[in-house]
Structure 1
């Protein structure tokens, strides 16, 4: 761990109490000069650190993304994550794919302050602004069959919804397959991709990525998105940090994984769905269909009853709902 990282971790643990430079030097076995240099570097990065001639230093809560800030929010039941925090990324999904190719370990998390070329499902672009969102991707190495792939995307949606509901006191809903909505507007999109081992027929890597609108003000969205998208804090100042939300999301994710094969999360997913019971339009194999969404099965697939009473089972990888209307 670098000197700067050691100093930041200690300051965060002590916050909001003050700690003197001498105490920090003794605890970390560093010189006072090294402490002073690290604190100045942290201040330049945007961390809010109060200096007092008599008391020492105190860390004030700030919304700078950091490995240290994320780690301090993780519960003991979560695995030891390998975390990278970037100032900017073309795409954290691409970064995670490269990490997989380079042999990075299971539970590798890549977080960026901004994505310069973000893409969602089917390559759709979405809006990104520095300091106002969370853009991250996780590399998992599950060695499971393709039939189990859908569990990860459903688990991720439930984990994000739980974290937002708990920390921000909002009421989230899930649009099949994995968009998180608040008050009828999209606040988060999730994308999952798998890489397979040809010989074993198993999934060797799963990458789960997401873009979360955290503190983007409603009038900052492009005009064509203002009626469709929102953020967790569209008007007021955030009551939590992005580090805290990131940690809470992965705490919830691993809490569900640790309880598998329990399927309670599926019922939670169904209860939060605002698609069930509504009329949906979609295209499958080049043919347009319209019907009522009647169920989400144990594989996370959407079951739609067409007007002729036949059923279509929609897979998240091949279908996008083009329209959702209340059932008349």
Structure 2
């Protein structure tokens, strides 16, 4: 543990004002070294109050693997960058390099993030951009369940920290107060010989706290954030930790498919009329069911259509 980390740990544990002298004596270094380390912590984004008699730690929102880790995701499997083109790409490169899975890749800023079908998305700093690398060794038919698992875990974690009820748009978007706050992207690679999935990567872009007026004008009516125009009551670390805690708990209960019950209850698509295009033909009909494999069943005038998330994007819901 570095000097900075040791000072941070002491300040956090104390919760009050800790003198520079006490820090220096505890760590066996000079007061000047303490002052320099505190300045470095502040440059990293930590909030530390200075008093004539010492320092006091204030709640800070700096991404830290130690505060995100859980039993399934130890600190050695969490990788945090200040800036990256895409956390999905980071996970793909790691998979090629035989990174042990599961592994989580997080970035403060993305320069080339994208959603389904390669669509770019608004990626301001200070939000949550992360991708989870998994090695499930299952068939491609089971891939949609991981997107659903992630959607349920995200939705439940946000509900927990906001006291509100999020909804899920089939198949991969989380909505709060009628606006999209999160998108999920899943990709997989296969073993050519066995036909099984070698790796699954789940990418999540979460609007954590954004002033509504900061969104591009064309997005302001449909995009939002978890904590708009307010100081978030929880840190990103706390939210990320709970998301993956829920996710791996759901994975353990995967055979029971209980997550599907939550997914269906949170759907704001079921029972509504949806519009979509399939093989160049436009359709409209009532969404009646989400299958156990994550497909959306729609009753149209042309008959029942079963939609796969990898092929179809809903164009309207009403």
TM-score, normalised via structure 1 length: 0.89
The equivalent position to 2:94 in structure 1, one of 91, 99, 102, is 99
- Tell me how many residue pairs correspond in the alignment: 316
Distance 1:272 1:155 in 2: 13
| CA shift in 2, pair 1:15/1:105, >3 Å | farther
SS at match of 1:137: strand
On the 8 A contact 1:153/1:208 being kept in 2, the answer is yes
Task: Give 1:303 shift.
Answer: 0.8
| CA shift in 2, pair 1:80/1:302, >3 Å | same
Partner residue in 2 for 1:317: 310
Partner residue in 2 for 1:185: 179
Partner residue in 2 for 1:16: 15
| CA shift in 2, pair 1:311/1:130, >3 Å | same
On the 8 A contact 2:72/2:102 being kept in 1, the answer is no
Please show how residues 13-92 of structure 1 align to structure 2 within 5 Å. Answer: 14=13, 16-19=15-18, 31-32=29-30, 35-52=34-51, 54=53, 56-71=54-69, 74=70, 77-81=71-75, 82-92=77-87
Partner residue in 2 for 1:124: 119
Distance 2:60 2:88 in 1: 26
SS at match of 1:261: helix
Partner residue in 2 for 1:147: 141
Distance 2:43 2:37 in 1: 10
On the 8 A contact 1:8/1:68 being kept in 2, the answer is no
Task: Give 1:30 shift.
Answer: 5.8
Structure 1 range deviating more: 171-180 or 252-261:
252-261
Partner residue in 1 for 2:275: 281
Task: Give 1:125 shift.
Answer: 1.1
Distance 1:17 1:256 in 2: 39
Superposed CA offset, 1:74-121 (max 9, x none): 4xx444251122111111111111111111111211111121122000
TM-score, normalised via structure 2 length: 0.92
Distance 2:128 2:45 in 1: 17
Task: Give 1:137 shift.
Answer: 0.7
| CA shift in 2, pair 1:178/1:15, >3 Å | farther
SS at match of 1:114: strand
Distance 2:196 2:2 in 1: 38
Partner residue in 1 for 2:247: 253
The equivalent position to 1:223 in structure 2, one of 192, 217, 223, is 217
Instruction: Flag structure 1 segments of 5+ consecutive residues without an equivalent.
Output: none
**RMSD (Å) for aligned C-alpha atoms:** 2.1
Please show how residues 297-308 of structure 1 align to structure 2 within 5 Å. Answer: 297-308=291-302
Distance 1:229 1:169 in 2: 20
Distance 1:24 1:261 in 2: 51
Superposed CA offset, 1:240-287 (max 9, x none): 111111111111111111222121110000000000011111112222
| CA shift in 2, pair 1:98/1:6, >3 Å | farther
